[in-house]
């Protein structure tokens, strides 16, 4: 168990904005542990958990899984890693998620990395990925629902942290390499 309080950075942005892609880059250069809430939920679903059917429905419908489930998965993954620098990708997605995480862990994020991306760009990326991803939500019908949930429920979380001066916003429309270059200045203090 680490004696230090964990350092958490929330990585937020719309569906297909490039959160997972850039988290992999950050892990490689700055040694964070990447925890994608969506990946944890998909793994939980496949493990035969009692919540499997509920998670599957929520993902296909672009709805947000209750915090009880997601916060526990995140806490377990943080503890199991034995590390103390985390990129939490795709969470918190609504105010309930945010309040539950803060309450259950006592952790406030160091900052929030926010990928700003127009829907047309995200849609094209997701439809392209859908040709091979096998993800139940990479189809036009689910994508529309994911966008709605993002605008109505997730943007307010970003606004909350913006009010605290914690949001570092980057444009996510350029190449993967260019986007990574634009986020690197936020991580210099974590250079290994």
Q: Which residues of 154-166 are buried (b: 16+ CB within 10 A; e: fewer)?
A: beebbebbeeeeb
> Which residue, 65 or 85, has its beta carbon nearer to ligand UP5?
65
Per the listing, tokens 């994608």 go with 36
Which residue among 28, 83, 103, 129 contacts ligand UP5 (CB under 6 A)? Answer: 129
CB-based closest residue to ligand UP5: 38
109 makes contact with ligand UP5 (CB under 6 A): no
**103 scored as a contact of ligand UP5 (CB under 6 A):** no
Nearest-CB residue for Mg ion: 20
Nearer to ligand UP5, 2 or 28 (CB): 28
Cβ atoms of 9 and 112 closer than 8 Å? yes
Owner of token pair 């036009």: 140
Least Å from the CB of residue 59 to Mg ion:
12
Q: In whole angstroms, give the CA distance from residue 137 to residue 94.
A: 19
3-state secondary structure of 24: helix
Task: Determine which residue in the list 20, 42, 43, 127 makes contact with Mg ion, applying CB under 5 A.
Answer: 20
Q: Which does 9 bind (CB under 5 to 8 A by kind): ligand UP5, Mg ion, none?
A: none
Instruction: For residue 122, give the nearest of 98, 134, 140 by alpha carbon.
Output: 140
Of 59-67, 77-85, 106-114, 158-166, the window that binds ligand UP5 (rule: CB under 6 A) is 59-67
């Amino acid at each position: 168990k680490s004696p230090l309080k964990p350092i958490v950075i929330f990585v937020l942005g719309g569906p297909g904005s490039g959160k997972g892609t850039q988290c992999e880059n950050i892990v490689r250069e700055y040694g964070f542990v990447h925890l994608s809430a969506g990946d944890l939920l998909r793994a939980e679903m496949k493990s035969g958990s009692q919540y499997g059917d509920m998670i599957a429905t929520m993902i296909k419908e672009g709805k947000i899984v209750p915090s009880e489930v997601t916060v526990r998965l995140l806490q377990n993954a943080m503890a199991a890693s034995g590390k103390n620098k985390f990129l939490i990708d795709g969470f918190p997605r609504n105010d309930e998620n945010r309040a539950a995480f803060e309450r259950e862990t006592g952790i406030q994020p160091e900052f929030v990395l926010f990928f700003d991306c127009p829907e047309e760009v995200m849609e094209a990326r997701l439809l392209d990925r859908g040709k091979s991803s096998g993800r139940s939500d990479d189809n036009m019908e689910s994508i529309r629902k994911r966008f709605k949930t993002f605008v109505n429920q997730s943007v307010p979380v970003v606004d909350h942290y913006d009010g605290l001066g914690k949001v570092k916003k980057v444009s996510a429309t350029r190449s993967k390499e260019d986007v990574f270059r634009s986020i690197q200045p936020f991580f210099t203090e974590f250079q290994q």
